[in-house]
Amino acid sequence: MKVLIVDDHAVVRHGLKSALDSHGYEVVAEAGSINEAQAFMAQTNPDAIVVDINLPDGSGFDLVAWSRKISPATAIVVLTLNDGEDYVRAAKCAGANAFIVKSAPLTDLIAALDFAISSPTSFSSKHITTSGVDSGLSAREIDVLHSINHGLTNAAIATQLYVSVSTVKTHVSSILRKLDANNRVQALAVARERGLLV
C-alpha cells in the first residue's frame, strides 16, 4: 500500500516513514505543505494519506477535502497535536477516515490506516475529549481561531487563508458567538479551556 505523509516537521515525517515502512507500507512521498502534497498526489497516486492539520500554506482540512474530491477511495488519516471534539468532527466533515492524536501509540496509527484502507467510506476515532463539549466550530473557524491565537489581524488572516477581510470578520463573529465570548482574548481563553488550542 502506497502512503503519502504530509507534515510540516521533517523529523515527524522521517519517524512516520520508518514506522510505516517497518509495518509493510510503502511511503511513496513526504510533503511539508499543501502545495507539495497536491503535486505528490498527482505524481504517485497514493492509496493512503497521513496528514497533519497545521500546515504552512493552509489547513490540513482543506487538503483532506480536496483529496476526497479527487479520489473517493483514498484512505485519509488525520494525525495531529490538536485535541478536541471540534477537530474530530471537522476531520470527519472534511472527508477523513480516521483521526489520531500524535500522543497516541503507533499501534493506533497503524490500526487507523488499516481501517481506513479497508473502509474508505467510514470514519473512526478513539479520541474522546475530557470535556466532551462540542462548540460547533467549523474547520474554517478553527483555522481562523488558530490565526487569532498567533496574533494575526483580520487582514493578515484574510491573506493567509485566501479569503476577503469581510469573510474573516464573519468567521470571527461566528467564533465569538459559538464560544459565548465578547472579544478575541476571551474567545482564546474559552478555546484553551475546551482543548481547542494546544
- Is there a single domain that holds both residue 27 and residue 107? yes
On whether residue 83 sits in a domain, the answer given is yes
- Is there a single domain that holds both residue 32 and residue 113? yes
pTM attached to this predicted model: 0.69
pLDDT tens for 35-65 read: 999 999 999 999 999 999 989 888 899 999 9
Classify 181 as helix, strand or coil. coil
Q: Which of 97, 70, 69, 100 is nearest to 83 (CA)?
A: 100
Taking the mean position of all CA atoms in its chain, how far away is CA 81? Answer: 9
- Bridge partner list, 27: 3
Determine the Cα–Cα distance for residues 62 and 64; give it in Å rounded to an integer.
5
**Contact (CB, 8 A) for 188 and 148:** yes
Give residue for cell 483521526. Answer: 99
pLDDT tens for 63-117 read: 999 999 988 889 999 998 877 778 888 898 889 999 999 888 888 889 889 888 8
- Is there a single domain that holds both residue 35 and residue 110? yes
Residue 13 has pLDDT above 50, yes or no: yes
DSSP 102: T
Domain that holds residue 11: 2-118
Q: What is the pLDDT of residue 133?
A: 47
H or E segment to which residue 25 belongs: none
On whether residue 132 sits in a domain, the answer given is no
On whether residue 54 sits in a domain, the answer given is yes
- Is there a single domain that holds both residue 165 and residue 83? no
